[in-house]
Chains A and B, each alone.
Chain A
């Protein structure tokens, strides 16, 4: 946090429609509220959800009034997919942090041969023009380990908490996760959150 943002932590979360970006944003914000912070979430619904690019915002802190994070204002850019993370790279502030799952989901334009998916090196090289702080790991692998590919977003939640960049404790986050889903998915989602947390903590070192 610095004078520019005056006590507000801006988190931009991006991915592909259907990956659980919206759900993650809401859970993260609930946890922030639970920890006693003012919070705003910006979502886009409808047309934007159908397998297309999705971006949500979570803003934590006293001065968060509107939902929007302008370019260069995100302390943390969370990406569920490398290409979609790069697409929103302009949001990250100088020296901000990128938290990204490395699992690739090819857009149809690539499958049809109309367009080429950038190489991993190219993606990282371009990201580094904005910041050197990149935490990258395969979140889908951890979701599968936790018990379901659908727990991908909870892996990312754990990882966000694990970066120590948001003022939310692991305990509060886990409590919110426990109450947010039907009982039968509780174990998978809690495990996913823990795995994500540990991964981010390990990556930071």
Chain B
């Protein structure tokens, strides 16, 4: 709803409601960033989703959807080495993918500012883990900032570029889901101009870290971190507020919860809020610890600041009680809320919480068990048809390695076609490993965007080592889960330019796959099932990999296209004269647009939800599901 067009407005002082991700996209303009490269990943997705539509309208600006995060950091990193302000954006697991260039970049350093935005996901709303990316800053010796809300997301970003250029080091800009996906009023600042092309000045004995170079760069890096620590001591991003016997150290989104908890419980405390969390301002922390008998550390996930505080207290012989995760007062899992802070305050001050949560929890536990409503493949999703065919053809007996995307939702009953998953691209490679140690058939599935991001080395490996695996590429012509970004197979770039698309079938053939076919999942269910059977048989006989590409655009794209065109195609319905209430359609497809009439037990199609794929027609043994002949509405 917030138009990327609004983010382009040159109106300093204007205040609008922005997600932190939108505020960061705006910050790109205000910081004069010349290039942004990223692979989409929730909770960071809206940064790229806005920049791609802003990019064609910004002079001297380049934006790309890179094929994956490692590529993105190398693209942005090189531009920063050349001397322009650059940015790479990823989700937590994406930084793991980009870890290799990440560590080299701090050794060689940068000439133009480089900010690496990483969005961690406490509570794992849309991620496979909740690892705490702050340790990357510690391990890679990269300065780090943590904004607490959308307002800081923009203002701190501008500071991150200044710090990066002062130190000639990349800066890690660490956010969490509740920062990225919070909206708040954000004020626009001035837009900074960007340079056009610059000359790359060679300095190979800095930028090529052969051992003799790297050995010199490591002490340099540690020296820069010492300078950064001095800057951290003086920075306005690290500050104290309030007064009281109790001390609280916090950073990021937890800061908000601390302030709200103190207000609600009317407790006086001095709060040290850290915006720069690597290197931490050591003198400031030591002084703070020395001023208080008790200091509580409030941070989500790992005891990062807490360990620093304990280390500094021990080194400087400060007599202070540090309260945090080590005593179990705070948890190392899941996101926090004001309640968690208030419960901790209750334990250490004996001041009552404003309401009795135990009572509410008890009452809630006494509620009847409610039917679950987990996320599902959408009505009309082509993956449903493909997975139905895979399951039918292999009678549920094959091993189904899965991958990262909407299709991981096939884990649920009744499709149940997700058995193993590590990370992006692991469907193909886990299949390789399983093929060597079992005799079971293996049908891996991977989406089109994930295929280009991380699938190619797996395919190459399977061809080279002759693994007998079946790979189904679910080609829905987009990166659906993160909000429909283009990828190398779509023929559109981050600059909204049309380019020749990479053809998955040709790519697989080029990599040496001998069995490659493309099918359309909505054409005929019988032939789709037959195709899967044939592929499984072929891999058994030929002991090498086979690829089946199931190609059909995402149902959400198709539906949006229909709406734009003002089309109302004929609807599907269940003929109640013919339906014998066998419930096969309901039980085998789990389509959100179908439900059971509680009296007749017949299936009913909710035409407000149906996306017109017609898969249910071929699943009904009675032929009871039909399509209206005339167009209505």
Interface string of B390-414 (1 = CB under 8 A from A): 0000000000000000100100011
Write the nearest CB–CB distance from B269 to chain A, whole angstroms: 15
Residues of A within 8 A of B482 (CB): 46
Q: Which of A42, A43, A68, A111 contacts B594 (CB 8 A)?
A: A111
Interface string of B471-494 (1 = CB under 8 A from A): 000000000011100000000000
In contact, B126 and A43 (Cβ under 8 angstroms): no
Write the nearest CB–CB distance from A155 to chain B, whole angstroms: 14
Mark the stretch among A122-130, A158-166, A167-175, A191-199 that contacts chain B: A122-130
Interface string of A1-38 (1 = CB under 8 A from B): 00011100000000011100001011101100100001
Residues of A within 8 A of B46 (CB): 45
In contact, B263 and A53 (Cβ under 8 angstroms): no
In contact, A40 and B182 (Cβ under 8 angstroms): yes
* Complex Cα–Cα for A162 and B23 (A): 32
What is the chain A residue whose CB lies nearest that of B340?
A: A70
In contact, A65 and B371 (Cβ under 8 angstroms): no
In contact, A29 and B183 (Cβ under 8 angstroms): yes
In contact, A107 and B372 (Cβ under 8 angstroms): yes
In contact, B373 and A84 (Cβ under 8 angstroms): yes
Residues of B within 8 A of A71 (CB): 339, 357, 360-361, 364
In contact, A47 and B178 (Cβ under 8 angstroms): no
In contact, A68 and B371 (Cβ under 8 angstroms): no
In contact, B371 and A41 (Cβ under 8 angstroms): no
Write the nearest CB–CB distance from A188 to chain B, whole angstroms: 13
User: At the interface, yes or no: B185 with Cβ under 8 Å from chain A?
Assistant: yes
* Complex Cα–Cα for A155 and B449 (A): 37
Interface string of B578-608 (1 = CB under 8 A from A): 0000010011001110111000000000101
User: At the interface, yes or no: B97 with Cβ under 8 Å from chain A?
Assistant: no
CB proximity to A under 8 Å, residues B544-569: none
Write the nearest CB–CB distance from B559 to chain A, whole angstroms: 10
* Complex Cα–Cα for A73 and B606 (A): 35
Residues of A within 8 A of B448 (CB): none
In contact, B178 and A42 (Cβ under 8 angstroms): yes
* Complex Cα–Cα for A38 and B355 (A): 25
How many residues on B have C-beta within 8 angstroms of the other chain's C-beta atoms?
Answer: 68
Write the nearest CB–CB distance from A128 to chain B, whole angstroms: 12
Given contacts A71-B360, A84-B373, A107-B373, contact A41 B183 (CB under 8 A): yes
User: At the interface, yes or no: A180 with Cβ under 8 Å from chain B?
Assistant: yes
User: At the interface, yes or no: A203 with Cβ under 8 Å from chain B?
Assistant: no
In contact, B260 and A63 (Cβ under 8 angstroms): yes
User: At the interface, yes or no: A76 with Cβ under 8 Å from chain B?
Assistant: no
In contact, B360 and A48 (Cβ under 8 angstroms): no
Given contacts A43-B182, A66-B338, A129-B363, contact A107 B413 (CB under 8 A): no
Q: Which of B125, B263, B481 contacts A44 (CB 8 A)?
A: B125
Mark the stretch among B284-292, B374-382, B452-460 that contacts chain A: B374-382
Q: A51-B376, A83-B370, A111-B596 are in contact. List 13 more A-B contacts (CB 8 A).
A: A18-B609, A41-B184, A45-B42, A45-B45, A45-B483, A50-B375, A52-B374, A63-B260, A67-B182, A68-B257, A109-B372, A113-B583, A126-B367
14 A-B pairs (CB sep. < 8 Å): A18-B609, A26-B183, A42-B182, A45-B45, A46-B43, A47-B42, A50-B375, A53-B373, A65-B256, A66-B182, A84-B373, A94-B355, A116-B371, A149-B608
- B-binding residues in A (CB < 8 A): 4-6, 16-18, 23, 25-27, 29-30, 33, 38-53, 63, 65-68, 70-73, 83-84, 86-87, 89-90, 93-94, 105-118, 122, 126, 129-130, 149, 180
- A-binding residues in B (CB < 8 A): 1-2, 15-17, 19, 42-43, 45-46, 125-126, 149, 177-178, 181-185, 253, 256-257, 259-260, 263-264, 337-339, 354-355, 357, 360-361, 363-364, 367-368, 370-379, 406, 409, 413-414, 481-483, 583, 586-587, 590-592, 594-596, 606, 608-609
